[in-house]
Amino acid sequence: NSPAAPAKPRISVIGTGYLGTTHAVCMAELGYDVIGLDVDAAKLDLLRAGTVPFFEPGLPELLTKVQGGGRLRFTDSYAEIAQFADVHFVCVGTPQRKGELAADLQYVEAAFSSLAPHLDRKVLVVGKSTVPAGTAVRMEQLLASQAPCKDVELAWNPEFLREGFAVQDTLHPDRLVLGVRTEWAEQQLRAVFAPMIESGTPVVLTDFATAELVKVAANSFLATKISFINAMAEVCEATGADVTKLAEAIGHDARIGRRFLNAGLGFGGGCLPKDIRAFIARAQELGVDQAVSFLHQVDAINLRRRARVVDLGQELLDGSWTDRRVAVLGAAFKPDSDDIRDSPALDVAAAIGRRGANVLVYDPQALDNARQLYPDLQYAASAEDAVRDADLVMLLTEWREFRDMSPERIGTLVRRRNIVDGRNVLDPAQWRAAGWVYRALGRQ
Ligand code: NAD
C-alpha cells in the first residue's frame, strides 16, 4: 500500500559537480523544486551566488533562470534535504583509486551513510554515479540497516551526458535506463522523467546490475572505438596509409558509423579511462577478467598515442627538446570543457617539459584548473602569446579557435613553422602551402 507518486516530486541532488549541478539545474528547469547538496563549501558559495564552478555551455544562463524562479537552492545539510525531498539523486564522484585500477567508492558510501539516518519516511534514493556492478545492492543494504524508515527504496539510473553538451543531453537524453526493484520505484522515476518520456525518450526498464553495467559497457564500447581507429593509425604510420581517409571510408558503412572514429591523441577525462579500468578490476573480482581483457589493450593503445605525439614533436625539433620553445594548444581533455582530469594534452605538455622544453600552454577555458594540477608548467593568456617565437606548435585539444587558426597569421609569430596536429583537425595542404612542416598521427 505504497503512496502513489506525488504529482510533482521534490528533488534533492547529492554532489554538485559536473553531473550533479547539471542535473539539479535541469530538474529545476523542468519545473521541480530542487535542493543541491555538497560537502565542498567553496563550491556551494559559488553556486548560491549563481556561478557555475566549471565551464559548461548554456548552464550558467539556466542556473540564473531557475534560481531567479526560486526553484533551486543549495545546502550542506543532509537533515534539510531529507526533510524536503521525495526523490534523492546521488551524483558524487567515483574516481580511480590511487595506484589501483578499481573505482574509489568512498564518496558514494559517505553520501548514502550521511543521508540514511535522516530518512524517516518512504522516499526513493536514486544512484546516478557510475559504479561497479554490485554497488547498488550494497547501498540498498546500507539503507535498510541505517534508515529509520524501513520502506525507503533504491533505484539506479546511470547518466550518459557529455561534457560540452550536458544541458541538451540531460533534457533530451538518447534513452533513460531505470534500474528498479519495484513498481513503486518505477512509478516515481517515470513521474520525475515524465516530460522526457512524453516527448518520446525510450525507457529501458531493468534490474540494478544491468543498469550499473549499461554505463560501463557504453563507455567501454566508445573507448574501444577510439582505440580501434588509433590502432589503425599505428598501422597507417607503418604503411604510408592515411587514417583520416580510412576512417571516412569505413565510416560510410552504417554498421560502423563515422562518429568516434577520429584518430588522434586519444581519450582522457574523468570518465572513459577510469571507467574501463574500474570495469577491468570488477571483472577480476567476479572471475570474468578474460571477458574484458581486451580493455587492457584499449587502454594501452590510447596511452601509446601520447608517447607517439612526443616522438613526432621530437623529430621536428631534430631530436632534442632542450631549451626549445613549444606552444601547446589545449589543456582540457576535450574542447568545450574546462575538465582536465586525465587530460592527454597536459600529459604530453608535462612529458616534454620534463625533457627540457620551454612549454607554454594555452587553453580557452581550462587554464585555472591546469595551473592547479601542473603548477610547474608555463601558461599563456592567448594562443598568439603561446606561439610567439615557438620552435614547435602542438595542437592537442581541438577547440574551434585552434581549428580556425590561419597558418599565415600564426606563421608570422613563430620562430620555426613546425606543427604537430595531435587531433587531425587541420588541413595539411593549407598548412604546408603556408610553409609549415606539418605532422599528424596516422598520416604522412
Ligand atoms: P565531480 O568530481 O565533478 O563532482 C562530484 C561532487 O561530489 C563534488 O562536488 C564533491 O564535492 C561532491 N561530494 C563528494 N563527496 C560527497 C558527499 N559525501 N556528499 C555530498 N557531496 C559529495 O564528478 P562528476 O564528473 O560530476 O561525476 C560524478 C559521477 O557521475 C561519477 O560517478 C562519474 O563517473 C559520473 N558521470 C560523470 C559524467 C561527466 O561527464 N562528468 C557523465 C556521466 C556520469
What CATH number did the domain enclosing 226 receive? 3.40.50.720
CA 22 – ligand 1 centroid, Å: 11
Q: How far apart are CA 119 and CA 116, in angstroms?
A: 5
Amino acid identity at 34: V
Do residues 178 and 282 share a domain? no
Q: For residue 444, name the pLDDT band (cuts at 50, 70, 90).
A: confident
Å from CA of 38 to ligand 1 middle: 10
Query: Using one digit for the tens of pLDDT, what is the confidence trace for 66-112?
Result: 999 999 999 999 999 999 999 999 999 999 999 999 999 999 999 99
Cα–chain center distance at 195: 25
Which residue's C-alpha comes closest to atom 19 of ligand 1? 111
Please list the alpha-helical segments (H only) found in 172-293: 183-192, 194-198, 208-239, 243-251, 272-286
Asked if 214 and 199 sit in the same domain, the reply is no
Q: Which of 149, 181, 206 is the last residue of a domain?
A: 206
Residues 146, 243 share a domain: no
In short, whether 271's Cβ falls inside 6 Å of ligand 1 is yes
Q: What percent of the chain has pLDDT over 90?
A: 98
Ligand 1 center–CA 381 separation, angstroms? 29
CA distances 128 to 131, 274, 345, Å, are 9, 16, 29
- pLDDT of 166 above 60: yes
Instruction: Answer yes or no: do 316 and 374 share one domain.
Output: yes
Note the ipTM here: 0.99
Q: How far is the CA of 163 from the centre of ligand 1 (A)?
A: 13
Task: Convert the pLDDT of each residue in 265-313 to its tens digit.
Answer: 999 999 999 999 999 999 999 999 999 999 999 999 999 999 999 999 9
Same domain, 257 and 377: yes
Q: Is 442 in the pocket of ligand 1 (CB under 6 A)?
A: no
The pLDDT score that the predictor gives to residue 25 is: 98
Element (H, E) at 345: helix 344-354
Q: How far apart, in whole angstroms, are the C-alpha atoms of residue 2 and residue 152?
A: 11
pLDDT over 90 (residue 5) = no
| Ligand 1 pocket member 222 (CB < 6 A) | no
Closest-CA residue, ligand 1 atom 2, reads 93
Whether residues 174 and 232 fall in one domain: no
CA distance 330 to 344: 9
Provide the H-helix boundaries in 13-165. 18-29, 41-48, 59-68, 78-84, 106-115, 135-146
Tell me the CA–centroid distance for residue 107 and ligand 1, in Å: 9
Higher pLDDT, 7 or 208: 208
Residue 409, exposed/middle/buried by CB under 10 A (0-12, 13-18, 19+)? exposed
For residue 163, give the ligand 1 atom closest to its CA: 40
> How many of the other CB atoms lie within 10 Å of CB of 366?
28
Q: What is the pLDDT of residues 122-158, one digit of tens each?
A: 999 999 999 999 999 999 999 999 999 999 999 999 9
Please provide the DSSP assignment of 278-331 as one string: HHHHHHHHHT-GGGGTHHHHHHHHHHHHHHHHHHHHHHHTTT--TT-EEEEE--
Question: Does the annotation count 271 as an active-site position?
Answer: yes
What backbone phi and psi angles, to 5 degrees, belong to 25? -65, -45
Instruction: Out of 159, 176, 206, pick the residue that ends a domain.
Output: 206
For residues 336 and 318, membership in a common domain is answered with yes
Instruction: Considering the candidates 26, 91, 236, 271, report the single residue annotated as catalytic.
Output: 271
Q: Encode pLDDT of 352-403 as tens digits.
A: 999 999 999 999 999 999 999 999 999 999 999 999 999 999 999 999 999 9
- Looking at the domain assignment, is residue 443 inside a domain? yes
Q: What is the pLDDT of residue 1?
A: 45
pLDDT band, residue 10 (cuts 50/70/90): very high
Cα dist from 398 to 91, 230, 237, 335, whole Å: 28, 16, 21, 6
Identify whether 161 is part of a domain: yes
Q: For the chain, how far is it from start to end, CA to CA, in angstroms? A: 69
| CB of 422 closer than 8 Å to CB of 265 | yes
Tell me, yes or no, whether 299 and 196 share the same domain.
no
User: Mean pLDDT for the chain?
Assistant: 97
Mutational pocket test of ligand 1: of 92, 170, 271, 276, the residue with most ligand atoms within 8 Å of the beta carbon = 92
